[in-house]
DNA sequence: CTCTTTTGTTCACGGCTAGAGCATAAACTG
DNA sequence: CAGTTTATGCTCTAGCCGTGAACAAAAGAG
């Protein structure tokens, strides 16, 4: 490591602090928080403004002395395009440093890779430009290290997302929706500042992420977080994943539909599941029973993971939000070791509603950008002002 | 971060490289591996020698040009005292930088905190001195973040190890044996260089650690790795931990004894378990059946963890070494998701025999020492040569 | 014995941050 | 409304760090 790395480290630290703090900290606060000398902060901010990464604006409130300024995203600064691909729609948003985002488009699709990825690719290519530093995509299936995507319940097998989107040289980050929801929770939700956090995202089945100091555990092949495929039902019913007795069979949309006698899986299940949740809220007995059974199973699963991994806080998103409650907490508590019951982790519904995967996709792009390489590339491709 | 941190970073990197490489790399290799300029390496090594951290000796073999030297531990350099506390004995070793260790003492005890920790404390205090930078202790039970130790099957509850050992100001690192065995495996065993590794240590019950880039996941309360307490037996038999259906009931020494009709737990079980393993090796049917049943259960547990966490390699130590084989691998494979079966992680017996916990205790001491604070303290407490 | 190869040592150079002193801009005081 | 107070930004110097080139050293090759 040399002196150049030192400067890069401090530049990145400052930029990261602005981003993670949602551009809400003044320069003087940043200087104190990062333990920089005022002169150093001065040079760093000037450099970042020069490079069109930050811009300083006057803050809303003043204190006693000389007013400080509020570093925020530069109007010509980097943008991340984030897309949330679901089984029947996709949403596309442009996000700037600090996390501010604008939804650019939403569109339905027919569930085939052809239609879904073709239309999304076209929308993305339309928005590309010199400010775009990467594209992040959240997908409802495991993304392997080689970039191929499987979404079993839509019959997507080994789909090469990068090729289908045809984005050329623009860096593409594809991630599993559950993991990205966890990443978002760690950066802008209830797992912020938590040393070890567990996030469970329930969609058609449960998945999630283990967040260690704000970073999701990727796993060796990039597919950690398949918490739904631990054999916790107690039975040996075959799971579509190929194993038996998986938690997935008892938690998630598929399980919910099966509980009320509907056929699980394939396409239109999301609305039906939402209807069951709504019916349960109004006291429908069958719906309540289905929700309760799911909550018990999820509680047991969370308990198993808490025993094994000792997270400080647990968050739940997606359909799982409807499962958070007394039943789930009791079931989790029963599954805990006596030792853990003394200080059980809080189990919280996500703070980000259904925007978790989208926000996570953004964060994954900025995680790649906020590196020495990312910034060097940005600097190299800016038009020079002098010379 | 300032320029001083830069120097500290490079000093630490060099020292860490010497330690992790078991003092087997020459100065020129280190210079290349760490991408240092030769001049920088020169200054760094000189400083570390000056501080009595390293000493250079002539290497065994010469190549063509000017002979390089082999940086190794200094004869007056730092020592870690590492102790492995088991249910009926303890072992104490002195370890130098690079991992070289000498067993200083082994002694039996009666299983009470009084006898065990009193005798160990006395042995430790005898060996303390200016070279000792810390004491690491491996214990067969969960160590909470507040430093208290429980060993349920010996009726140790809330044992304050630090107070009992009475080591004064010397830093004490107490760790769970399973986690430390995993740490050792990550540094000097089959998990070396593995991005995400899973280690399972089987003693009276199974425990372990998740190793992420060589560092064990501590968990929020310091007690991650209790893999034995996931409800994977399929039943709801009560577990001494307070939960039900735990994997612990089906894997480990207690389970093995129960399988052959002996009473589980308390004191002398280790020899009996070893006898069962030996009998199984000679074909005794009841013993073989017990081992096979354990292996199946452990395989299922490993499969569940592999699904959830996606490790690249799995290692097994302790009694678990006797369980590694075709039965375990098949059982694990059956529990894997189809997706994971394409590239299942290798499941390997530990490379460190039964020295894992002791080595892990050493590593935990050096992990604390090989920090800027640790080195600053060392430097501050050395006798000054000039002035 | 001389050449070649590789490594260690030394030193001038550019870059970095700390810290002090000064300049600045707002709020407070009366 | 003008002087005072307070916090912050800016500028410059000092001290430290790593780089890289030139040189010295030490061994094997021929």
pLDDT category of residue A144 using cuts at 50, 70 and 90: confident
For residue B268, give both structure tokens: 């002398």
Nearest-CA residue relative to C1' of C11: B39
Name the 3-class secondary structure at B75: coil
d(CA A283, CA A245): 30
Tens of pLDDT, residue by residue over B273-297, are 999 999 999 999 999 999 999 999 9
Whole-angstrom Cα Rg for chain B: 22
Which residues is A79 bridged to in the sheet?
A96, A132
A381/A158 Cα distance (integer angstroms): 34
Give the one of A220, A227, A308 whose C-beta lies nearest to B227's C-beta: A308
Cα–Cα nearest to B247, from B299, B325, B306, B312:
B299
| Nucleic strand D near CB of residue A57 (< 7 Å) | no
**Residue at minimal CA–C1' distance from C18?**
A37
Nucleotide nearest to A28 (CA to C1'): D8
Among all chains, which residue has been given the structure tokens 């940043």?
Answer: A30
| SS3 of residue A126 by DSSP | helix
Cβ-nearest to B150 among A144, A221, A339 = A339
Compute CA distances A372 → A7, A378, B213, whole Å.
Answer: 10, 10, 21
Distance CA B152, CA B147 (A): 16
Q: Closest nucleotide (CA of A27 to C1')?
A: D8
Q: H-helix or E-strand containing B5?
A: helix B3-20
User: pLDDT at position B270, please?
Assistant: 80
Residue B110 phi, psi dihedral angles, 5° rounding: -95, 10
C-alpha atoms less than 13 angstroms from C-alpha of A247 in its C-beta half-sphere: 30
The larger pLDDT score, comparing residue B318 to residue A260, is at B318
Structure tokens at A242: 């190929």
Question: The pTM is what?
Answer: 0.94
Quick: pLDDT tens for A23-65: 899 999 999 999 999 999 999 999 999 999 999 998 887 778 8
Q: What is the pLDDT of residue A267?
A: 56
Q: What is the pLDDT of residues B101-121, one digit of tens each?
A: 999 999 999 989 999 999 999
**pLDDT score of B269:** 74
Q: What is the pLDDT of residue B386?
A: 47
Selected for mutation to probe chain A from B3, B220, B232, B299 (highest A CB count within 10 Å) is B220
Which residue is the nearest neighbor of C25, CA to C1'? A66
3-state secondary structure of A170: coil
B61 touches strand C (CB under 7 A): no
* Average pLDDT estimate for B142-161: 85
B110 to chain A, minimum CA–CA distance in Å?
25
pLDDT at residue B387, rounded to an integer: 39
Does the C-beta of A65 come within 7 A of strand C?
yes
Alpha helices in chain A (DSSP H): 3-20, 27-33, 38-50, 113-127, 161-165, 177-188, 253-259, 269-281, 285-309, 326-335, 338-341, 356-369, 372-381
**Predicted pLDDT at A382:** 83
* The pair of three-digit structure tokens given for residue B68, joined into one six-digit string: 């390089």
Least-confidence region, from A80-84, A133-137, B267-271:
B267-271
Residue-wise pLDDT tens digits, B322-337: 999 999 999 999 999 9
Q: How far is the CA of A65 from the C1' of D25 (A)?
A: 62
Task: Report the distance separating Cα B356 and Cα B362, nearest Å.
Answer: 10
Residue A14: which of A3, A2, A37, A1 has the closest Cα? A37
Residue A311 vs residues A332, B94, B139: alpha-carbon distances, Å: 13, 34, 22
**Strand D and B36 CB separated by under 7 Å:** yes
Q: Mean pLDDT score of chain A, rounded to an integer?
A: 93
Longest CA–CA span in chain B (Å) reads 74
Would you place residue A386 in the very low, low, confident or very high pLDDT band (cuts 50, 70, 90)?
Answer: very low
Q: How far is CA A236 from CA A242, A249, A300, B120, in A?
A: 11, 10, 17, 48
pLDDT(B46) > 80: yes
pLDDT number for residue B267: 56
Closest Cβ opposite residue B308 in set A226, A244, A343:
A226
Average pLDDT for A4-33: 95
The pLDDT confidence band at residue A135, using thresholds 50, 70 and 90, is very high
Tell me whether residues B194 and A227 touch, CB distance under 8 A: no
Quick check: B308 and A196 CB within 8 A? no
pLDDT at A318 over 90: yes
8 Å CB contact of A308 and B224: yes
Mean pLDDT of the region B233-248:
93
Angle at A380 between CA A377 and CA A386, to 5 degrees: 155
Give the CA-to-C1' distance from A130 to D16 in angstroms: 39
Q: Which residue of B has its CA nearest to A36?
A: B1
- Find the range with the poorest average confidence among A33-47, A70-84, A315-329, B154-168: B154-168
Nucleotide closest to B26 measured between CA and C1': C7
Q: Which of B76, B75, B48, B85 is nearest to B172 (CA)?
A: B85
- Whether residue A385 has pLDDT greater than 60: no
Q: With cut-offs at 50, 70 and 90, classify the pLDDT of residue B144.
A: confident
* Residue B314 predicted with pLDDT over 80: yes
Which pLDDT tens digit goes with each residue over A162-211?
Answer: 999 999 999 999 999 999 999 999 999 999 999 999 999 999 899 999 99
> Can you tell me the distance from the alpha carbon of B309 to that of A217, in angstroms, rounded to the nearest whole number?
8
């Amino acid at each position: 490591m040399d002196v150049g790395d030192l400067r890069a480290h401090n530049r990145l630290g400052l930029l990261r602090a602005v981003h993670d703090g949602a551009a809400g900290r003044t320069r003087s606060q940043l200087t104190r928080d990062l333990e920089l000398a005022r002169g150093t902060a001065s040079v760093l901010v000037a450099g970042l403004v020069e490079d069109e990464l930050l811009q300083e604006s006057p803050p809303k409130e003043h204190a006693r002395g000389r007013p400080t300024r509020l570093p925020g995203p530069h109007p010509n600064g980097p943008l991340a395009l984030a897309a949330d691909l679901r089984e029947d729609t996709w949403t596309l948003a442009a996000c700037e440093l600090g996390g501010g985002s604008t939804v650019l488009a939403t569109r339905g699709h027919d569930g085939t890779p052809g239609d879904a990825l073709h239309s999304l690719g076209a929308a993305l290519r339309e928005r590309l430009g010199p400010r775009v530093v990467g594209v992040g995509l959240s997908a409802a299936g495991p993304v392997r290290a080689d970039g191929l995507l499987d979404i079993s319940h839509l019959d997507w097998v080994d789909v090469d997302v990068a090729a289908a989107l045809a984005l050329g040289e623009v860096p593409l980050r594809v991630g599993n929706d559950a993991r990205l929801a966890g990443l978002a929770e760690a950066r802008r939700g209830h797992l912020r500042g938590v040393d070890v956090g567990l996030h469970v995202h329930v969609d058609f089945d449960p998945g999630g992420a283990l967040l260690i100091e704000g970073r999701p555990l990727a796993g060796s092949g990039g597919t950690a977080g398949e918490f739904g495929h631990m054999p916790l039902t107690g039975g040996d019913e075959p799971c579509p994943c190929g194993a038996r007795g998986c938690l997935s069979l008892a938690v998630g949309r598929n399980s919910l539909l099966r509980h009320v006698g509907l056929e699980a899986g394939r396409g239109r299940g999301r609305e039906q599941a939402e209807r069951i949740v709504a019916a349960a809220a109004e006291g429908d007995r069958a719906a309540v029973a289905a929700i309760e059974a799911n909550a018990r199973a999820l509680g047991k699963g969370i308990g198993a993971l808490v025993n094994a991994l000792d997270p400080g806080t647990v968050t739940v998103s997606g359909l799982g939000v409807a499962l958070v409650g007394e039943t789930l907490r009791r079931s989790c508590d029963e599954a805990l070791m006596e030792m853990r019951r003394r200080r059980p982790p809080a189990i919280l519904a996500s703070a980000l509603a259904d925007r978790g995967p989208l926000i996570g996709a953004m964060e994954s792009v900025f995680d790649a950008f906020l590196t020495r390489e990312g910034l060097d590339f940005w600097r190299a491709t800016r038009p020079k002002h002098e010379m």
